[in-house]
A and B are shown apart, each in its own frame.
Chain A
Amino acid sequence: MAAITLLEAIRQGIWEEMERDQRVFLLGEDIGVYGGAFKVTEGFYDRFGEERVIDTPISETAIVGAACGAAMMGMRPIAEMQFIDFISCAFDMLTNFAAKSRYRQGIGIPIVVRGPCGGGVHAGPFHSQNVESFFLNTPGLKMVEPSTPYDAKGLIKAAIRDDDPVLFFEHKLLYRNPKIKQEVPSDDYVVPIGKAAIRRAGRDISIITYGAMVYTALEAANTLQQDGIDVEVIDLRSLNPLDREAVGDTVKKTNKVIILHEATRTGGIAGELSAIINEDAFDHLDGPIVRVTSIDTPVPYAPPLEEYFLPQVDDVLKAARSLAAY
Chain B
Amino acid sequence: MAEAKRAKSNELGKEEQLELLYYMLLTRTLEERLEALLKQGKIVGGLFRSLGQEATAVGSAYALDAAKGDILSPLTRDLGAMLVMGATPKEVFAQYLARGSAPSGGRDQNLHFSDLKRGFIGTISPLGTLVAVMNGVLLAARLQGKKSVGMVYVGDGATSTGAFHEAANFAAVQGLPLVIVAENNAYAYSTPTTKQMRILNLADRAKAYGMPAEIVDGNDVVAVYRASRRAVDRARGGAGPSMIEVKTFRMRGHAAHDNQHYVPKELVEQWRKRDPIDQFEKSLKGSKVANKAEIDEVRRRAGSIIGSALAWAEDQPAPLPETASSGVYRDDLRQR
Contacts and interface: CB of A to CB of B under 8 A. Distances in A.
Interface of A: 22, 25, 27, 51-52, 54, 56-57, 59-75, 77, 92-93, 96-97, 100, 102-108, 139-140, 142, 163-164, 194, 241, 244
Contact of B135 (A65, A140, A241): A65
Interface stretch (B47-55, B237-245, B273-281, B322-330): B322-330
A49 to B, nearest CB: 10
B92 to A, nearest CB: 15
Size bracket, chain B contacts? 35 or more
B139 A54 contact: yes
Nearest to A163: B330
A105 B103 contact: yes
Contact of B169 (A62, A67, A93): A62
A195 to B, nearest CB: 13
20 contacts: A27-B139, A59-B167, A61-B132, A61-B163, A62-B169, A64-B132, A65-B167, A66-B135, A66-B170, A71-B136, A74-B144, A75-B139, A100-B124, A103-B327, A104-B113, A105-B104, A105-B108, A105-B122, A140-B329, A244-B334
A70 B136 contact: yes
Contact of A75 (B134, B143, B327, B333): B143
Contacts of A54: 139, 174
A69 B138 CA distance: 8
B124 A97 contact: yes
Interface in B115-131: 116, 121-122, 124-126, 129, 131
Contact of A140 (B112, B170, B328): B328
A142 B166 contact: no
Contacts of A163: 330
Nearest to B165: A59
Q: Which 9 A-B pairs have the closest CB atoms?
A: A65-B132, A69-B136, A73-B140, A66-B136, A59-B166, A70-B136, A62-B166, A62-B170, A69-B133
B142 interface: yes
A70 B329 CA distance: 18
Contacts of B290: none
B133 to A, nearest CB: 4
A292 to B, nearest CB: 27
